[in-house]
Structure 1
Amino acid sequence: MPEDVSPPPPPYVAPSYPAPYVPPRRRSAWFYIGTIGGSFAVIALVLTGIIWGTTRSSGWSPFGSDEIAVIDVTGMILTADKIDAQLRAYADDDSVKAIILHIDSPGGAASPSQEIYHEIERLRQEKHTKIVASVDSVGASGAYYIASACDRVYANQASVVGSIGVVMEWTNYGDLMRWAKLKSVDIHAGELKTAGDPSRDMTPKEQAYFQSLVDNMYSQFVHDVAVGRHTTEDKIKPLATGQVWTGQQALPLGLIDKEGGLRVALMDTAKEVGISGEPTVVSPAKEERGLLSMLLSGGEDLFPNPGKLLEHAPGFYFLWK
């Protein structure tokens, strides 16, 4: 008979049963408190970082560190509102230990220059705010007027400072009107009411009248510079010829206190107000004006209105030209 070759029986497999149910471990209330608190802490850190980055440019600090504010005075000085507001904001900030005016300007209108001068003077006297001027390339006329009110004036050797003087100017378009066969007509009361009419030449009396105004502003300029520089008008007047000097020339004349740029002014000022090491610098946020904002403003910046020339009244300037 043939041999039995049937397969061996399969190996024994033990029956499987479902694992017993184990209820999840209940978390304590502290776990949820910690989770929620941690989430709020992360959000707070993110918001703090955003606020810190924003306030570094705006000048306000919630952390009370010792800082020095740097305010730029650049270009023509035509209004005092912006600079005065920045000065007051930093003077009221306890974390700001001193203010540096970083000047690069030929001056500008007489009244705004004088207004900034007096605001610096007021803050120094009433709030004991230390305010220093650092002249970059140019600090002339109205810009020097402002600088002279500060505790100290710094300028590079090749900086241009001075130009103590007053100029009155306007555009006379009388010849153009005559060429176009146009006449200016006005009815007025008061002999000097139309003095400075740009459609005609001045009379000798009008010339003397305007010269008296310029002379009076000039004497104010000389007086205020003398007060700001802690000297006498007799010492300032020989320098008040309208001319400028380099920083190297201005130092022995007493128009500046030390040669050096912004870095020198910054480190010297930090030391004087008790800040050791590298000071924290804050500055006002920059205003960015794009093409769209210019167009929305009426396009005056891009396309000046020729008609504005006819509205140009005589102006008094502390300006180096």
Structure 2
Amino acid sequence: MAGSSRAAQVAQFFLVLVGVAVAVALGWMLFVVVPEGNLARLLGVVLAVLAGVVGARAAGAIASSRFAGYDVAEVAVEGPITRDGGGSTFPPRPGGASADDVVEQIERADEDANAQALLLKLNTPGGQVVPSDDIRVAAERFDGPTVAYATDTCASGGYWIASGCDAIYARDGSIVGSIGVIGSRVNAAEAADKLGLEYERLAAGKYKDAGNSLKEMTEDERAYLQNLIDGYYDEFVERVTDGRELSDEQVRDTEAKVYLGEEAESIGLVDELGTKRAVKDRLAADLGVEEVTVEEFAPERNLMERVRGGSQSVAYALGAGVASAFTGEDGQGVEGVEFELR
């Protein structure tokens, strides 16, 4: 496989050179030879160079497509999983896993004829329910072998995703599991009383403001919210039993605990322990080749998105992320309650 990779690189380089030569020759004929006069020739030289650049880019794109030096796409899920990679702070905490970005990368890999297998690298404590499931569904739809590789942490929402892959690998020191759902709210009712704040309810529907942090929760509201959490938990258990061929009882017996790699393997949460080299060997066997070459797929961002991401990082570093906000995005929250796979 290493020899074929070098051959692909040589072929790419040769094709780019041919593209540059053809483009420059064409530009020279069109803009230098044909026009008359010094100004026209000077302009022609500039246009010929530009034509060469365009030709190089076009030839490079063709070469990358026809002579790609990889056969496995690697997509990373790192940090807390949310819809856009932010958190429940303002401004959003930078560095989380954007489900939309990860799904886009997996779909792009699936459309790439060179990417015959998917390596999903996971280092995440979990996150929001629906975004986690979006990533899992995208991985399940990938047309080819899929292997999840847990590095430091593959917990909760991360394991929700991993359980949909054909195999799960981890390290001895990896933290794996946490098959559970948590709902949380801030009870600020007593603080509001001390500050002289009074909650006035204007709502239609008995449970519309269930979980609001400025009022005490009734037993009916508590039961209602607990029922939602139980529903998410049942769905989580079902996902794991389907993907891992474990029984419902085996999954529930974990009681949302986390395990180190060796114990996670012994109870069936992980298939094998090993480094990335072992994962690549597994994928090579799946594809029937001696060795695979892995290409990292990263989010495609335009200039404005990069600038916005940088400004968020600066703002958070300056301490602007201290104020908390409670969201109901993607059905994750009801009033002040957040439901997360953590």
TM-score by shorter chain over 0.5: yes
Shift of 1:300: 6.0
The letter for the 2-side match of 1:276 is E
The answer to whether the Cα contact below 8 Å between 1:78 and 1:112 also exists between their aligned partners in 2 is yes
Shift of 1:40: 4.5
In the other structure, the counterpart of 2:78 is 74
Percentage of identical aligned residues: 27
Matched, 1:318 2:341: yes
The answer to whether the Cα contact below 8 Å between 2:70 and 2:295 also exists between their aligned partners in 1 is no
Q: How many residues align?
A: 274
Matched, 1:47 2:56: yes
What is the RMSD computed on CA atoms of the aligned residues? Answer: 3.3
The answer to whether the Cα contact below 8 Å between 2:71 and 2:117 also exists between their aligned partners in 1 is yes
CA separation of 1:285 and 1:51: change in aligned 2, threshold 3 A: farther
The answer to whether the Cα contact below 8 Å between 1:140 and 1:164 also exists between their aligned partners in 2 is yes
The answer to whether the Cα contact below 8 Å between 2:283 and 2:292 also exists between their aligned partners in 1 is no
For residue 121 of structure 2, the aligned residue among 76, 98, 102 is 102
**Greater alpha carbon shift after TM alignment, 305-314 vs 60-69:** 305-314
Which aligned pairs between 1:286-297 and structure 2 lie closer than 5 A? 294-295=310-311
The answer to whether the Cα contact below 8 Å between 1:134 and 1:262 also exists between their aligned partners in 2 is yes
The alignment partner of 2:253 has SS state of helix
Which aligned pairs between 1:228-307 and structure 2 lie closer than 5 A? 228-239=243-254, 241-284=255-298, 294-295=310-311, 299=315, 302-304=318-320
The answer to whether the Cα contact below 8 Å between 1:154 and 1:256 also exists between their aligned partners in 2 is yes
CA separation of 1:290 and 1:85: change in aligned 2, threshold 3 A: closer
Greater helix share, structure number: 2
Which aligned pairs between 1:1-321 and structure 2 lie closer than 5 A? 37=22, 39-40=24-25, 43=52, 47=56, 51=60, 61-79=65-83, 80-121=99-140, 123-124=141-142, 128-239=143-254, 241-284=255-298, 294-295=310-311, 299=315, 302-304=318-320, 308-309=324-325, 313-319=336-342
The letter for the 2-side match of 1:104 is N
The letter for the 1-side match of 2:181 is V
The answer to whether the Cα contact below 8 Å between 2:146 and 2:167 also exists between their aligned partners in 1 is yes
The answer to whether the Cα contact below 8 Å between 1:267 and 1:279 also exists between their aligned partners in 2 is no
1:182-210, Cα deviation, whole Å (9 max, x unpaired): 12222122221211010122111111111
1:109-164, Cα deviation, whole Å (9 max, x unpaired): 1121122222222x14xxx3221100000000010010000000000011010000
The answer to whether the Cα contact below 8 Å between 1:68 and 1:270 also exists between their aligned partners in 2 is no
The alignment partner of 1:194 has SS state of coil
1:229-260, Cα deviation, whole Å (9 max, x unpaired): 12332332212x11100110011101011001
The answer to whether the Cα contact below 8 Å between 1:67 and 1:282 also exists between their aligned partners in 2 is no
The alignment partner of 1:205 has SS state of helix
Unaligned residue ranges in structure 2 (runs of 5+) = 1-20, 27-48, 84-98, 328-334
